[in-house]
Amino acid sequence: MDHNGNTELRENSFWRKYLFSADHKTIGKQYLWLGLIMALVGGILAYFMRKQLAWPESETLTPNVYNAFVTMHGTIMVFFVAMPILLGCFGNFLIPLMIGADDMAFPRLNMLSFWTFFVGTLLLILSFFVPGGAAAAGWTGYAPLSAKPIYTGVNWGLNLWILSLALEFASVLMGGVNFMTTAITMRAEGMSWFRLPLMVWMQLSAAIIFMLSVGPTIAAAVLLLLDRLVGTGFFVPAQGGDPLLWQHLFWFFGHPEVYVVLLPGFGVLLEILPAGSRKPIFGYRIIIYSTLVAGVLSFIVWAHHMFVSGMNPNLSMPFSITTILISVPFAIVIFAMIATMWRGSIRLTTAMSFAIGTLMTFLMGGVTGIFNGSAAVDIFIHDTYFVVAHFHYTLFPATFFAAFAGIYFWFPKMFGRMLNETWGKVHFWLTFVGFNLVFLPMFRLGMAGHMRRLADPTQYNFLSTESIKSTQIFITWAAIGLLIGQAPFIVNFLRSIVAGEVAEENPWQANTLEWSTASPPPHGNFEVRPIVHHDPYNYSSPDADSDWLPQDQSLEEITT
Amino acid sequence: MVMYSPEISRSDPVDKATLATLIFLGTEIMFFAGLISSFLILRAGTPNWPPPGQPRYPILITGFNTLFLLVSGATMFRAVKAAQGHRRKRWLLATFGFGTLFLGIQGVEWVKLVEYGMTFTSSIYGGLFYTLIGCHALHLVIALVILIFVIFRSGFGTKTHPLLSLCSLYWYFVVGIWPLLYTLVYLL
């Protein structure tokens, strides 16, 4: 509201409503658009890398450009696709709705957060076009490769890379402060901690993990930038610096970051699976406790990325133990998800298909993580395609399968229209089959000793065999199929926004509060502030008439 | 800012802005933890500390300076607790004075160190000093800017201002992290 009281005029202007909006729903959708567009960019980079790998003789990419593409593909997919969609979109859109609040605690800070993110994204895109090209030191920015421009030949590209990540971190910090303050202070009457939808718990855990882990990496980024711009040598051995220090500081954040992305993905599943199985969630509290334990453990596993880095080998055993330990809480959550579906009356919607697809693919990623986590095995498979396959089996399910599940599930709430289910199914099967055809063979490549980040594998004799070459070509065709498989989604998404079937308030007959208001919810979210009477997963309750019992409906209201 | 109808807004059990500031300060603590660990690791990997030809960090004068900063924390506390406007004004100005004094003495020390040949790039020893102490100084500058803003917006402290309590939290953080930095960087 300005000093002249012109609230209504300004609220209704196009700019205020769609662009510089402080409404959490609009900001969530802005993050969604940004993430989806960046996913296309990341996918196109992947296509060029795959073309180069399958047909190195075509010289699609020079080794320098290949390095830049590898770096930017990783950076974009983790920081500019997974983060905006899973945290930016779902967190912003769902947290206030699910807790029955009218908006975030700090709506303007939220808007600032998005536009900071947006500028960071622009800088990252811009870095492709500066002299020397984009950053080429890997998405992990390992020093000393990243510490001096002469090592990669990239000067401003890498500076911009650091700058854009700094903006992204600042943005997520603002978002995280907002998420936590909102969830702590703005819950509706009756919304106790153990009635919170698990999505909110997961977003909250992710925010806490991010906030606690990102500080040291920002410190490392400051040191790195000083190395590059001022000429200090914190990470340069020739000047008395320590390159391993970068790896420690980076992975102290970098590994928890994996869970920052994964937990909101789990949150999506934990909402969709009970609604799609018409059963209460299995082990609500155990899931929360496991998540918190995993969150704590995530801070003491980072050095498993560094088994072959030259760090003290005595550290390998403790970090192997914590790494294998962290699979226990996650296994509990996975089992709880499977048990939730067990003997449910499953409604195999597109959202549900993607949710189950997430479980199946992530399981592969989790199990192969145990191989990487044991130092003895890791020394053999480190920096091979086995690792590439492993982390794509963990991050692809979280970033894409779970995100797609969430988009199909909450699209009606976001845009007031339904996505087409038939094309959704087509999209699911193309993605599911395509994904497995791309990444399953990579485990085999890795076992054969195929290193990562090679622009031209055929320069090694043992990687020039017919078997390896044909596998690479097969993977590339599968990747092209996977990319084309996204076309039904893009068309469906764009078409449904304008011409989809109009959605009702609660199309999936789910219980959480966002389904108790209009689709899309009005400004301020709820006509009357809801009062919460139940936990969020009251499906097939024998006391209720229908097989679902919304959180804001008391049993007396129904029976009388 | 959007105003909603009164029936759907409600009083908060915890003050939102205070909570948000505390969460943010948690991140700041981790940031300094990262810097301090970097310092300790790089120091442990350097055989001669300080390296030949580099001056020692100024322990004594900074020790006195530490007292000034701690005093500024105490005056800030008094300012927040002050019931009357004119008292608040006195304590706020004292806080500003001690904060600026600390920064000024640090600045003089930096000039001397540079004259002795310790620069950002002269050694890891110098680079770390300027990075760590510089980050702290930058935080103090930001705290001073917020303090000046609060002083001017509150009629030199005579009126209450909502930002004062947040500003004091940030101030306590900047003061509180300093003895740790002093001990680990200068004394150790």
Q: What is the pLDDT of residues A509-550, one digit of tens each?
A: 999 999 999 999 998 899 999 999 999 999 998 888 889 999
Assigned token pair, A281: 């969630």
Cβ of B24 and A241 within 8 Å? no
CA A226, A230, A231: angle at the middle one, nearest 5?
95
Nearest 5°: phi and psi at A141?
55, 40
- Using DSSP's 3-state secondary structure scheme, residue A343 falls into coil
Chain B residue numbers touching A248 (CB-CB < 8 A): 41
pLDDT (tens digit per residue) in A414-425: 999 999 999 999
DSSP three-state, residue A173: helix
Which of B38, B48, B114 to probe by mutation at the A interface, max A CB count within 10 Å?
A: B38
A548 by DSSP, 3-state: which?
strand
Residues in B whose CB is inside 8 Å of some CB of A read 1-5, 7-10, 12-14, 16, 19-20, 23-24, 26-35, 37-38, 41-42, 45-46, 51, 120-121, 123-124, 127-128, 131, 135
Q: What is the pLDDT of residues A352-361, one digit of tens each?
A: 999 999 999 9
| Interface contact flag, A241 B124, Cβ < 8 Å | yes
Q: What does the alpha-carbon distance between residue A434 and residue A191 come to, in Å, rounded to a whole number?
A: 42
When CB atoms are compared, the residue of A189, A214, A249 closest to B38 is A249
Predicted confidence at residue A4, as pLDDT, reads 41
| A410 C-beta neighbours (distance < 10 Å), count | 26
Contacts of A105 in chain B (CB under 8 A): 16, 20
Q: Is the Cβ of A211 closer than 8 Å to some Cβ of chain B?
A: yes
**Residues of chain A positioned with their CB less than 8 A from the CB of B128:** 234
Q: Which of residues 23-62 of A touch B (CB under 8 A)?
A: 23
Least Cα separation, residue B94 to chain A (angstroms): 32
Using CB atoms within 10 Å of the CB of residue A285, give its burial: 0 to 12 exposed, 13 to 18 middle, 19+ buried: exposed
pLDDT of residue B9: 42
Instruction: Give the chain A residue whose CA is nearest to the CA of B34.
Output: A216
Chain A CB contacts of B14 under 8 Å are 184-185
Q: Name the nearest CA neighbour of A177 among A95, A287, A299, A252.
A: A95
Pairwise CA distance, residues A391 & A401, whole Å: 14
Residue B159 banded pLDDT, cuts 50, 70, 90: confident
**Weakest-pLDDT range from A129-138, A318-327, A496-505, B7-16:** B7-16
Of B23, B33, B34, the CB nearest to A177: B23
Q: Which of B28, B32, B42 is the closest to A245 by Cβ?
A: B42
Q: Which residues of A touch B120 (CB under 8 A)?
A: 226, 230-232
Q: Which segments of A342-382 does DSSP mark as H helices, in order?
A: 350-373, 375-381
Residue A128 near residue A134 (C-beta atoms within 8 A): yes
Nearest to B168 by CA among B101, B82, B106, B85: B82
- In chain A, what residues touch B123 (CB-CB under 8 Å)? 240
A529 and B3 within 8 Å at the Cβ level: the answer is: no
Q: Are A243 and A237 in contact (CB under 8 A)?
A: yes
Instruction: Let me know: does B27 contact A214? Beta carbons within 8 Å.
Output: yes
Q: Which residues contact B188 (CB under 8 A, 6 or more apart)?
A: none
Q: Which of A7, A211, A234 sits opposite B26 (nearest CB)?
A: A211
Higher per-residue pLDDT: B156 or A47: A47
Confidence at A274, pLDDT banded by 50, 70, 90:
very high
Give CA–CA dist A27/A19, Å, rounded.
Answer: 9
What is the predicted pLDDT for the residue at A192? 94
Q: Is there a contact between B20 and A105 if contact means CB atoms under 8 Å apart? A: yes
For an interface test with A, which of B11, B14, B23 has the most A Cβ atoms less than 10 Å from its Cβ? B23
Of A215, A223, A239, the CB nearest to B27: A215
1.20.140.10, 3.40.50.620, 1.20.210.10, 1.10.3720.10: CATH of A19-559: 1.20.210.10
Contact A155, A164 (CB under 8 A): no
Mutate to test the interface with B, among A242, A250, A513 (most CBs of B within 10 A): A242
Asked whether the beta carbons of residue A245 and residue B4 sit closer than 8 angstroms, the reply is no
Q: Which chain B residues are Cβ-neighbours of A234 within 8 angstroms?
A: 38, 42, 124, 127-128
Domain ranges of chain A: 19-559
Q: Is the confidence at residue B11, as pLDDT, over 70?
A: no
Chain segment A88-143, per-residue pLDDT in tens: 999 999 999 999 999 999 999 999 999 999 999 999 999 999 999 999 999 999 99
- β-partners of residue A356 are none
Give the burial string for B36-48 (b: 16+ CB within 10 Å, else e).
bbbbeebeeebee
pLDDT tens across A209-219, in order? 999 999 999 99
Please state, in angstroms and rounded to a whole number, the distance separating the CA atoms of residues B139 and A6. 37
Q: What is the mean pLDDT of residues A231-249?
A: 93
The residues pairing with A502 across neighbouring beta strands, listed in sequence order, are A417
Q: With 50 as the cut, is the pLDDT of residue A433 above it?
A: yes
Residue B129 C-alpha, separation from nearest chain A C-alpha, in angstroms: 12
* Residue B24 confidence (pLDDT) above 70: yes
Closest-CA residue of chain B to A208 = B23
Question: Could you give the 3-state DSSP secondary structure of residue A531?
Answer: strand
pTM comes to: 0.93
Say if residue B50 is preceded by a cis peptide, omega within 30 of 0.
yes
Answer whether A529 sits within 8 Å of B7, measured CB to CB. yes
Residues composing chain B: 188
B38/A232 touch (CB, cutoff 8 Å), yes or no: no
- Mean pLDDT, chain A, rounded, equals 93
| Residues of B whose CB is below 8 A from A232 | 120-121, 124, 127, 131
Q: Is the pLDDT of residue A8 over 90?
A: no
CA B18 to chain A, closest CA, distance in angstroms equals 9
Q: Taking CB atoms and an 8 Å cutoff, what residues of chain B touch A214?
A: 27, 30
Give yes or no for residue A75 having a pLDDT over 90: yes
Contact A529/B8, CB-based, under 8 Å?
A: yes
Longest dimension (CA), chain B: 71
So what's the pLDDT on residue A2?
A: 39
Cβ-based contacts of B173 with chain A (< 8 Å): none
Print burial letters for A259-272: b (CB count within 10 Å at least 16), e (below 16).
bbbbbbbbbbbbbb
Would you tell me how many other CB atoms lie within 10 Å of the CB of residue B2? 17
What angle do the packed helices A487-499 and A403-415 form, to 10 degrees? 10
Q: A427: pLDDT confidence band, cut at 50, 70 and 90?
A: very high
CATH of B55-187, picked from 3.30.420.40, 1.20.120.80, 2.102.10.10, 1.10.3720.10, is 1.20.120.80
> What pLDDT sits at residue B7?
39
Q: Does A96 touch chain B (CB under 8 A)?
A: no
Q: Cβ of A185 and B12 within 8 Å?
A: yes
Q: Which of A278, A186, A106, A280 is nearest to A530 (CA)?
A: A186
Nearest residue of A to residue B10, measured between CA atoms: A186
Question: How close B124 comes to chain A (CA, Å)?
Answer: 6
Assess A112–B contact: CB distance below 8 Å, yes or no.
no
User: Omega of the bond prior to A144 within 30 degrees of 0, cis?
Assistant: yes
Model pLDDT, residue A559: 55
Asked if the Cβ–Cβ distance from A215 to B3 is below 8 Å, we say: no
Distance CA B57, CA B50 (A): 9
Q: How large is the average pLDDT for residues A219-234? A: 94
The CA distance from A321 to the nearest CA of chain B, in Å, is 24
**Backbone angle region of B157, left / alpha / beta, with phi > 0 → left and psi within -120 to 50 → alpha:** left
Contact A546, B26 (CB under 8 A): no
Q: CA-to-CA distance for B142 and B174, rounded, in angstroms?
A: 10
HEC assignment per residue over A105-155: CCHHHHHHHHHHHHHHHHHHHHHHHCCCCCCCCCCCCCCCCCCCHHHHCCC
What separation, in Å, do the N-terminal and C-terminal C-alpha atoms of chain A show?
43
* Segment A259-278 mean pLDDT: 96
Q: Please name which of A513, A463, A466 lies closest in space to residue A197, comparing C-alpha atoms.
A: A513
Q: What is the mean pLDDT of chain B?
A: 88
Residues of A in contact with B131 (CB under 8 A): 222-223, 226, 232
What is the pLDDT, as a whole number, of residue B47? 87
Q: What is the CA radius of gyration of chain A?
A: 24
State the smallest CA–CA distance between residue A96 and chain B in angstroms: 13
Cβ–Cβ below 8 Å for A105 and B45: no
